[in-house]
Amino acid sequence: MALFAVITMFAVFLGIGIVASRKARAGTAADLMIAGRAMPLWIATLTMTATWVDGGYLLGTVEGTHKTGITLGAQGGLCFGFSLLLGGIFFARRMRELEFTTIIDPFEARFGKRWAAVLFLPAMLGEIFWSAELLVAIGSTFGVMLGMKLTTAILLSAVVVTLYTAIGGMWSVAYTDAFQLGLVALGLLAALPFALAAVGGWEAAWQGFVTARPDQSAFLPPLRANANWSLPSILNWWDVSLMLMLGGIPWNCYFQRVLSCQSPRRAQWHSIWAGLLTVAFTLPPLVLGVVAFRYQWPTEWQAQLQSEPARALPAIFQHLVPPLVGLLGLGAIIGAVTSSFSSSILSAGSMFTWNCCYRLLRPNLTPAQMKRLMRGAITLLGVMATVLALKVQSVQALWFFTSDLIFVLLFPQLVCALFDPKANRIGSITAFVISLVLRLGGGEPLFNIPPTIPYPAMFTGPEAWYANGALLFPYKTFAALMGLLALPLVSRLTQHWDAARPLRNLSHEK
């Protein structure tokens, strides 16, 4: 029955995507990439929320709360929401007023096509690795709840989502996102009463949680160090939070929705409303994480959850709720993952088609050729993400590292490109190199790169700034800040050799 329900769900996704694709059939490539800038406020808000409320958001919030507590469990969801709020207040209106097509456009306008192609690389890699990580998440969920092979689950999800994304582009993605977000809300809300009943109600669960974890029951870490929170760990929490909040802005999948809105004002408000909804969606998985911590799991499940805490949410849907509600919960996870996967491959396909092929390599492409290229790029990128999900064991680690680089490298570039009229290419290149060196100087366990810059030497007791071999000093924020300071400074010192270029709409240029 569960397998039949999953197949039916994917058929509905495909049907909605095909119906919505009619809006893009007679249009141009802009209809596929940014919905012809005609997306209503309500659908733009829902598709933005669905993109940010992904599988990692749900599974990670429950996992973090169950494993460590509220302070770390809520960090991702709250920071994602604040990222959308900050993007709406400071960036969305500006980008929509200039009628850009992708996030790479302001880089090209300020710094030229060739350097924009370099800045395109981390943005593109981030989307591809995110897509692969989402497929792994849905495959693992299917394995826990349905006993389905990882390969089968990944292939089924990738084929269906890539198909409707390639057919209808932004319109198909937006309408399926709205439906999938409804599944997320329905699945989580339906599971809450049964899950809470299994641990004696919310009051009993919360009191037990606070008693066991008094220093992990708040949304923010303490202001001062104590027995459970050292100064390095507090600063590291804020370092990661800033990376999530500010690093969540320079993603093309975010600006794709901003640029699809009907007006600059609506672009701004849709981001703000989506941010508030994203924060609200943090509450149900937080409650379920408390339930997972308080529930007396059977011995075999305790061992599994200790070794694989990411299984906490699927375990709740499988063991603590009725089968029908469990299916709704599975639908919530499927909806969250597939909505973000479609957004990611659409975003990557748009940047590849518009900025790489059209703007840089072949400016004489016709609208029909652009549409064919766009659909081919989405399909190719879907295949690449699928191969990564099946073959690479450290996809999640690669995505975390790439997201890290997007914050460190692209956030300073975006701020200066949009708001500094003196920003030039020399300043951009200098800031990029400085931020990259400072970031890699903190080390990277994924590539076995040890720290080479003695950040902790600025403080007494440098050994306190390491935990399990990882550096706790906020070097990511430091690297981004140095880039943000270097770009305008160097730009002003080099105006004589490299005059600043105006920020302009590139839509009608070859």
User: What does the pLDDT look like over 382-395, one tens digit per residue?
Assistant: 999 989 888 865 55
Report pLDDT for 168. 85
pLDDT averaged over every residue in the chain: 87
CA distances from 385 to 41, 199, 399 (A): 30, 39, 12
Report pLDDT for 95. 96
User: Quick one: 387 and 453 in the same domain?
Assistant: no
Report pLDDT for 144. 62
What is the domain range of residue 393? 2-22+29-419
Residue at a domain's end among 403, 419, 435: 419
The closest alpha carbon to 133, from 393, 331, 330, belongs to 393
Task: Flag whether 290 is in a domain.
Answer: yes
**CA 255/CA 302 separation, integer angstroms:** 42
User: Quick one: 225 and 113 in the same domain?
Assistant: yes
- Which helix H or strand E contains 106, and what residues bound it? helix 104-111
**CA 480/CA 430 separation, integer angstroms:** 13
Residue at a domain's end among 419, 440, 459: 419
Task: Flag whether 271 is in a domain.
Answer: yes
Report pLDDT for 27. 66
Identify the CATH number of the domain in which residue 363 sits.
Answer: 1.20.1730.10
Number of other CB atoms surrounding residue 459 within 10 Å? 12
User: Quick one: 131 and 156 in the same domain?
Assistant: yes
User: Quick one: 424 and 414 in the same domain?
Assistant: no
Report pLDDT for 206. 94
User: Quick one: 333 and 188 in the same domain?
Assistant: yes
User: Quick one: 310 and 433 in the same domain?
Assistant: no
User: Quick one: 360 and 440 in the same domain?
Assistant: no
Assign residue 36 a region (left: φ > 0; alpha: ψ between -120 and 50; beta: otherwise).
left
Report pLDDT for 236. 84
* Residues 150 and 143: beta-carbon distance below 8 Å: yes
Task: Flag whether 508 is in a domain.
Answer: no
Task: Flag whether 509 is in a domain.
Answer: no
Task: Flag whether 378 is in a domain.
Answer: yes
- Which helix H or strand E contains 471, and what residues bound it? strand 470-471
The DSSP-derived string for 147-197 is ---HHHHHHHHHHHHHHHHHHHHHHHHHHHHHHHHHHHHHHHHHHHHHHHH
User: What does the pLDDT look like over 78-127, one tens digit per residue?
Assistant: 999 999 999 999 999 999 999 999 999 999 999 999 999 999 999 998 89
* Residues 107 and 255: beta-carbon distance below 8 Å: no
User: Quick one: 476 and 375 in the same domain?
Assistant: no
Looking at the 3D structure of the chain, how many domains does it have? 2
Report pLDDT for 477. 92
Residue at a domain's end among 373, 404, 419: 419
Task: Flag whether 510 is in a domain.
Answer: no
pTM recorded for the entire structure: 0.92
For residue 74, give the amino acid letter. A
**CA 251/CA 410 separation, integer angstroms:** 9
User: Quick one: 414 and 448 in the same domain?
Assistant: no
**CA 59/CA 208 separation, integer angstroms:** 22
CA distances from 165 to 324, 333, 379, 452 (A): 29, 19, 9, 44
Those residues of the chain that have pLDDT short of 70 are 1-2, 24-27, 140, 143-147, 392-399, 456-471, 508-510
**CA 430/CA 483 separation, integer angstroms:** 8
User: Quick one: 335 and 451 in the same domain?
Assistant: no
**CA 237/CA 235 separation, integer angstroms:** 5
Quick one: tokens of 338? Answer: 């597939």
Quick one: tokens of 226? Answer: 């104590």
User: Quick one: 412 and 424 in the same domain?
Assistant: no
Under DSSP, the state recorded for 221 is -
